[in-house]
Amino acid sequence: MIPKIVKLSEKMSQDLKSQSLKIAIIKLSALGDIVHASIVLEFIKKNLESASINYDISWIVDEKFAEILEGHELISNLIKIPLKDKKFLRTYKILKDAGKFHIAVDLQGLIKSAIVAKILDTKIIYGFDKNSAKESLASTFYTHKFSCDYNENIIIRNLSLTAFALGFKFERDEILNKKPCLMAYEKAEKNEPKRILIAPFASEESKCYDKFKRVIKMLSNYKVHVCFGNKKEFDKLEEIVKYTNADVLEKMPLKELVKFINSCDLVIGNDSGITHIAWAQNIPSITLFGNRPSQRNAYTTNKNIAIDACKKIDARKIDKNDFCIREIKPEIIAEAAERILNA
């Protein structure tokens, strides 16, 4: 199907005969959100190439999270902006110098991401409507608005908005059969014993499971590694691994961590960027949820499962003081791990 963006004007159609369709994808942060959004790249490539349309993808990202996308073969230009450091004038100049785009797609749905889209040199901006965006005011900046339940699965939301913007359709089987979203590596040799990575930390304390030590002890027949991101996490990590057979994974650049995840047989962790990388790379995973909606924040497969506290969570009404994730029994996690590892 030819993307409808090509049909918007005769002039644009003529332009695209001599140049590529220039697309700006906006997903600024955080790590997990960027990982979830990265699937759109494969679908853009597949659908535009099948329609014989040349394309050029730029991705606008906060520079603090840019490393995960650096060198991606489907991104022509990674535009890194210092929004987290509140360097607004520099951000404005970077965006103004980014060149012209035929279309911008704001996958973030925040006021700040919508403003980023508006600053870009483009007349066409796609985003979620006021009832679908995380911040409803963001929709006022879009020229084309898409309706999608905010509680819909995040992978479906990202793909649906992108498909709406570029005029293609997708099926569930295409998601299940996707290629690694971030980077491809040669398949690692089989691990004996099988290798498990535990990612016990997250951006909020209420998203962190507190019984990983018991889970590790139940998986003593496997080679277990535990990762951390900063000194505060490292200090907590010592208590998790004490008196277990787990190894502390040395701190490494994000690209190296992705490579390590690619060599694992299973990743177990909280609703965090590290655990979602496993899904993105088609590595088996178990993601633990408490006060976040598992049906929204994880796209489950036969080898990528979610375990939650059996509470119905509204994504718009998150209680950050709800530590129900601690109600998950470690036996449930260990049994699920055994099933996946021995499938």
CA-based nearest residue to 132, from 120, 144, 123, 122: 144
State the DSSP code for 194. Answer: P
The model's confidence at residue 19, banded by pLDDT at 50, 70 and 90, is confident
The pLDDT of 285-313, averaged and rounded, is 97
Considering the chain, what is the average pLDDT of its residues? 94
Residue 12 confidence (pLDDT) above 60: no
The pLDDT of 34-39, averaged and rounded, is 99
The pLDDT of 302-322, averaged and rounded, is 97
The model's confidence at residue 168, banded by pLDDT at 50, 70 and 90, is very high
Predicted pLDDT of residue 184? 76
Under 8 Å CB-to-CB from 25, ≥6 apart: which residues? 37, 40, 41, 57, 58, 59, 60, 104, 105, 107, 162
Report residue 25: phi and psi, to 5°: -100, 130
State the Cα–Cα distance between residues 180 and 42, nearest whole angstrom: 9
Residue-range domain boundaries for the chain: 4-176, 195-341
Residue position matching structure tokens 């018991």: 214
| Whether the domain at 4-176 and the domain at 195-341 fall into the same CATH topology | yes
For residue 140, give both structure tokens: 């006022």
The pLDDT of 221-243, averaged and rounded, is 95
State the DSSP code for 174. Answer: H
State the DSSP code for 77. Answer: E
State the CATH class of domain 195-341.
alpha beta
CB 70 within 8 A of CB 78: yes
Predicted pLDDT of residue 9? 42
CB 38 within 8 A of CB 182: yes
The least confident of 6-15, 42-51, 67-76, 259-268 is 6-15
Task: Report pTM.
Answer: 0.94
Q: How many CB atoms lie within 10 A of CB 129?
A: 16
State the Cα–Cα distance between residues 80 and 197, nearest whole angstrom: 30
The pLDDT of 118-143, averaged and rounded, is 99
State the Cα–Cα distance between residues 98 and 88, nearest whole angstrom: 15
State the CATH class of domain 4-176.
alpha beta
Q: CB-side exposure of 64: number of CA atoms within 13 Å?
A: 11
